[in-house]
Structure 1
Amino acid sequence: MDHDAAMAELDVSSLVVARVGSVEATTATTLPWVVLDGAGLPIAPVSDFLRELLACGNTPASCRSYAYDLLRWFRFLAATDADWRRAKRADVRDFVLWLRTCHNPARDRRSPDAPTPGSLNARTGKPYLKTGYAPATINHAVSVLSAFYDHHLQTGQGPLVSPVPPQSRDGRRLEAHHNPLEPFQLHRRGAYRQKQVDREPRAVPEDVVEDLFNSLGCQRNRALFSMFLSSGARAAEMLGMTIGDVHPGEGRIYVQTKGLGGAKEACPASPEAFAWLALYLGELAQDGHCPSPDAPVWWTLRGPRRPLTYTALRAVLNRINARIGANITLHDLRHTLCLRLIEDPGITLVDAQQVMRHRRITTTSTYLRPRIDEVIAKVHEHYTRPKPPPQPLTGWTYNPDDLADVFGNG
């Protein structure tokens, strides 16, 4: 049976995709990440594509994200006994169907007593992650495949026709020459792109924020979460901050902003956050650990001290969530700050955009939409508000001015 006939009869729900290969970091500046196959050898077409990404100004973090999507694609091709150069639209279709039905191994980090996937948290109202791949993850994978095959289509190393359908009907990039003074128009979703829920801003309730800070048992965590909640910095930006990036006299910190190739931008921070930070750095000095201006700000608590990683920080937050019965993420703190700024009448929408470092004002304007819990509270107040008693009818009389106009003053 040829490959086309096999793909026509493929049942992706029973397909076993072996977790072979890996994404490994390298010491080469021109290729920070490499995708290895099952034999431990680099996949040459992926390496060539990742070099192209880096040359086009993408960050090593973006290359790492693309590498994992392509590793998943080559694992699927190995399971279906297909060659990447001869991949067709049916292969991409079955790949998407497999992602929609298979188990996401990243969810295996759950503890045995973790809440049911997809259920709502009673305190935050936010659902827990489901066991499969999210629609946004599938859409990202399709976009990566499209860029991968477009690159090899231009270099002549891949198939003559890309197996990934274009995003728009005419194959051009949507909004490539959009006038920023005009609103964005809705377009038809491309083939295999999944519907994504238009999520509301995920602000952490005030009582949950209070419980969060009450559960912090060290100066480092108090300084760290105060910085998150008052600066709006992302996790990678905060963990990449150095001692020299802290300017308490100016009330600001400097972080490497996402998407700007390592350029640093200023972020405001609250006086409370700087006070906790001073106490934390004082503890480091008492322990004989005095980082240089180029050293990271955040370190592990137990020796030998090491720079704090995202994995360790996420473990800290997971323990806090278990204690207070919530499912907060670090990015939720960023959403919370933006909503607080939006609700302050002394801060404009443009000011909030600058603090959050959104590229477009339309991104910041999504926080203007009322949250569902606020709407429910207002509607409940409407139903329970006592209605005014009906006014008794006092009859009616003629207006003297109207009578004067009809009959005259005599």
Structure 2
Amino acid sequence: MLAETGALAETGDPARPYVLLDSQGIVAVPVMAFFAELRACARPAATIRSYGMDLLRWWRFLSGWGIAWDRATPVDARDFARWMQIAPKPVRAHWRRRASGEVQPVRSVRSAASVPNPVTGRAAPGHLYSVSTRAHCETVLRSFYAFHLEESTGPIINPFPAARERRPLPVEAGTPSRLSTGGRYRPSVPHRLPRRIPDDRFNELFAALRHNRDRALLAFWVSNGARASELLTSRQRDALPGEQLLGVIRKGTRAYQQLPSSPDAFVWLRLYQEEAWRAGVPRGAHEALWWTLRRPFRPLGYHAARAMLNRVNELLGSNWTLHDLRHTAAYRMARDPELALTDVQWVLGHAHLTTTQIYLPAGRDEIVEAVRAHHERQTRQAQLPSTSAAGYRPESLNDLFGGHL
């Protein structure tokens, strides 16, 4: 396991939200230049943080082997890709444990296999890096070195090369070759079905909530399909119960959009607001809509909202995520024959209709039930007595004997 040297520090400056610190605590200038390019391309701070975590992992790998970032070769990139396949993810202790100095045990590689959850049927995040994480990391590092290659500030060869040229089978003469646009060390990410929550499971999840704030949050997430972070950007002026609209700031474009929501969500919101205002939560059109439940009152953040759902998961023995609520809302809308798919695309904020179409196929639970029903029909069919002679079609015998068989 690599030593956790360096850090990705938040600056609080909107023009430079994050900086990467190396093992000596010095700001990595090449990464800072790359972040400046991303910011100039209107990439949000969340994207820069995601890229920074991948670059921090690469910086630690290079520091462990004593390799400078501009001296890395494709061999080093290949070793890094192999390392990510077998390296356990670092365990980050809770902030209370870090404050007390408690040591977190190291995970064993042998315990990497994750057992599917008995409630959701989905395996929890394993102890190894997932395929999607490895693919994202390879793409980020390849883009990082491509940027410095264009600026003539890095190595003359990108350590993370594009995939090798793939030639089709010689079926026809003169067939042009096909060049893959992916990275050579980028793993293939399997296609996954939408992670929707079945109606009965959602009712159990909703009933396990203890506060009206949490009930209002889930009611909005499952009705308007907003991302978890988007819903938390709403202000008190953005809730319009008379029109059943709630304004949010979109994650990618940062555009303001009013989303239609269910009447039940506004009922729970009103109950929560009455409790919050009596408790002393700031009241005003420009104030945040969602607040913590305990003093000192602070606007509710993403990690606090996820902790709320995790507490309910521990009670139910499940492992639902906040993004599952968005998938559930998208699945319900996309499967409604009276709702146009382009309308669903607008509500979800998808740039392409093909992204919305992934919610059209049946979900895992529906597929399982359909296959079970198929097996039951096959069993009943096998138990029925045969009424026709072997080798003759039943309709032919009915024509011959006048339908008396």
Aligned partners of 1:53, 1:383: CA distance in 2, in Å?
Answer: 53
**SS of alignment partner, residue 212 of structure 1:** helix
Aligned partners of 1:89, 1:215: CA distance in 2, in Å?
Answer: 51
Aligned partners of 1:27, 1:368: CA distance in 2, in Å?
Answer: 41
Which residue of structure 2 lines up, in the alignment, with residue 141 of structure 1? Answer: 137
8 Å contact kept, 1:59–1:259: yes
Indicate which of 92, 96, 108 corresponds to 2:77. Answer: 92
1:390, distance to aligned residue in structure 2 (A): 5.4
Which residue of structure 2 lines up, in the alignment, with residue 200 of structure 1? Answer: 193
Which residue of structure 2 lines up, in the alignment, with residue 303 of structure 1? Answer: 295
Indicate which of 76, 79, 87 corresponds to 1:102. Answer: 87
Aligned partners of 1:48, 1:120: CA distance in 2, in Å?
Answer: 42
Paired residues, number: 366
Aligned partners of 1:169, 1:152: CA distance in 2, in Å?
Answer: 24
8 Å contact kept, 2:281–2:291: no
**SS of alignment partner, residue 32 of structure 1:** strand
**SS of alignment partner, residue 27 of structure 1:** strand
8 Å contact kept, 2:165–2:179: no
Q: What's the C-alpha RMSD, in Å, of the aligned pairs?
A: 2.5
The runs of 5 or more residues in structure 2 that have no matched partner are 95-103, 106-110, 167-177, 389-396
Which residue of structure 1 lines up, in the alignment, with residue 147 of structure 2? Answer: 151
Aligned partners of 1:328, 1:293: CA distance in 2, in Å?
Answer: 33
Indicate which of 226, 240, 243 corresponds to 1:247. Answer: 240
Determine if the alignment matches structure 1 residue 45 to structure 2 residue 12: no
Matched residue type, 2:142: S
Indicate which of 320, 332, 335 corresponds to 1:340. Answer: 332
Aligned partners of 2:310, 2:117: CA distance in 1, in Å?
Answer: 14
Cα offsets for 1:157-196 (capped at 9, x unmatched): 11112111125849xxxxxxxxxxxxxx995753111121
8 Å contact kept, 1:117–1:129: no
Aligned partners of 1:33, 1:344: CA distance in 2, in Å?
Answer: 42
Determine if the alignment matches structure 1 residue 325 to structure 2 residue 317: yes
Which residue of structure 1 lines up, in the alignment, with residue 271 of structure 2? Answer: 279
Cα 1:327/1:27, change in 2 over 3 Å: closer
1:354, distance to aligned residue in structure 2 (A): 1.6
Matched residue type, 2:202: V
Which residue of structure 2 lines up, in the alignment, with residue 32 of structure 1? Answer: 17
Aligned partners of 1:116, 1:337: CA distance in 2, in Å?
Answer: 32
Aligned partners of 1:117, 1:105: CA distance in 2, in Å?
Answer: 16
Cα offsets for 1:351-377 (capped at 9, x unmatched): 221221111111111112223332232
Cα offsets for 1:213-256 (capped at 9, x unmatched): 11111111111111111111111111122112212222111111
Matched residue type, 1:202: R
1:116, distance to aligned residue in structure 2 (A): 8.2
Determine if the alignment matches structure 1 residue 212 to structure 2 residue 205: yes
Indicate which of 228, 231, 234 corresponds to 2:227. Answer: 234
Aligned partners of 2:284, 2:165: CA distance in 1, in Å?
Answer: 55
8 Å contact kept, 1:168–1:189: no
8 Å contact kept, 1:138–1:193: yes
8 Å contact kept, 1:168–1:188: no
8 Å contact kept, 2:227–2:326: yes
Which residue of structure 1 lines up, in the alignment, with residue 97 of structure 2? Answer: none
Aligned partners of 1:341, 1:27: CA distance in 2, in Å?
Answer: 38
Matched residue type, 1:130: G
TM-score (normalizing by structure 2) = 0.84
1:30, distance to aligned residue in structure 2 (A): 2.2
**SS of alignment partner, residue 48 of structure 1:** helix
8 Å contact kept, 2:244–2:263: yes
Determine if the alignment matches structure 1 residue 82 to structure 2 residue 70: no
The runs of 5 or more residues in structure 1 that have no matched partner are 1-15, 171-184, 399-410
8 Å contact kept, 2:71–2:155: yes
**SS of alignment partner, residue 156 of structure 2:** coil
Determine if the alignment matches structure 1 residue 18 to structure 2 residue 18: no
Aligned partners of 1:308, 1:266: CA distance in 2, in Å?
Answer: 20
> Which segment is superposed worse, 381-390 or 52-61?
381-390
8 Å contact kept, 1:246–1:254: yes
Determine if the alignment matches structure 1 residue 57 to structure 2 residue 61: no
1:108, distance to aligned residue in structure 2 (A): 6.3
Matched residue type, 1:380: R
Cα offsets for 1:33-54 (capped at 9, x unmatched): 1011122211111111101110
**SS of alignment partner, residue 20 of structure 2:** strand
Taking every aligned residue pair, what percent have the same amino acid on both sides?
Answer: 39
Cα offsets for 1:113-139 (capped at 9, x unmatched): xx9852111221111111011111111
Cα 1:116/1:82, change in 2 over 3 Å: closer
